[in-house]
């Protein structure tokens, strides 16, 4: 954010900086709007299937691989907003929808009740995105062609009513 300049953003978008300011008060407003759009697009592109949480995590992994720029943006968003960030309405709504779907699947017995819906969602999201940072510590421990299967298998086993 500190290095971003509205005039450069506008030039890259092929519009005037004035046009950006007619929609957003400042670059912070634009930054928040981009974050909200990413959340909206991800929810639409990768809807949760709580009855098959492993495959849902696999599709999230696929989305992260197909759009690494999104993962970089989310990382920057977290860094910029820090621990004091206010939960965005877009994120809260998306998370609540997922939590409700997981709770319903738990009631039907298709997901374990050893974990809360929040714990299961956190596990699925974390495992789906664990290789997106290209962390040197874990990056080479598993061949890249096995990442997706590892995510699916791990989430499926953790979420199974029969236990891992």
Q: Which has more pLDDT, 129 or 81?
A: 129
Q: Is residue 116 part of a domain?
A: yes
Question: What tens digit of pLDDT does each residue of 85-97 get?
Answer: 667 777 888 889 9
CB-CB contact of 57 with 127 (8 Å): yes
Q: Which residues of 105-127 are buried (b: 16+ CB within 10 A; e: fewer)?
A: bbeeebbbeebebeebbebbbeb
Kindly report the CATH number assigned to the domain that includes residue 97.
1.10.357.10
Give the domain range for residue 110: 49-159
| Whether the predicted pLDDT of 139 surpasses 70 | no
Q: Is residue 3 part of a domain?
A: no
Q: What's the pLDDT at 109?
A: 96
Q: Is residue 6 part of a domain?
A: no
**Distances from the Cα of 127 to the Cαs of 15, 32, 58, 89, 116, in angstroms?**
39, 25, 9, 24, 17
The structural domain count of the chain equals 1
Q: pTM for the whole thing? A: 0.80
Q: Is residue 11 part of a domain?
A: no
């Amino acid at each position: 954010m500190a290095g971003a300049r509205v005039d450069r953003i506008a030039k890259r978008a092929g519009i005037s900086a004035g046009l950006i300011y007619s929609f957003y008060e400042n670059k912070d407003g634009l930054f928040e709007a981009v974050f909200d759009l990413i959340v909206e697009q991800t929810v639409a592109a990768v809807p949760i299937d709580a009855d098959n949480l492993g495959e849902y995590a696999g599709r999230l992994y696929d989305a992260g691989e197909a759009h690494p720029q999104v993962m970089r943006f989310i990382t920057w968003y977290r860094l910029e907003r820090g621990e004091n960030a206010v939960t965005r309405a877009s994120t809260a709504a998306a998370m609540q929808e997922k939590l409700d779907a997981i709770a319903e699947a738990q009631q039907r017995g298709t997901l374990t009740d050893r974990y809360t819906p929040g714990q299961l969602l956190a596990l699925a999201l974390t495992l789906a995105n664990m290789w997106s940072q290209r962390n040197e510590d874990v990056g080479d421990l598993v061949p890249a062609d096995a990442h997706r299967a590892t995510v699916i298998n791990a989430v499926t086993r953790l979420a199974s009513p029969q236990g891992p």
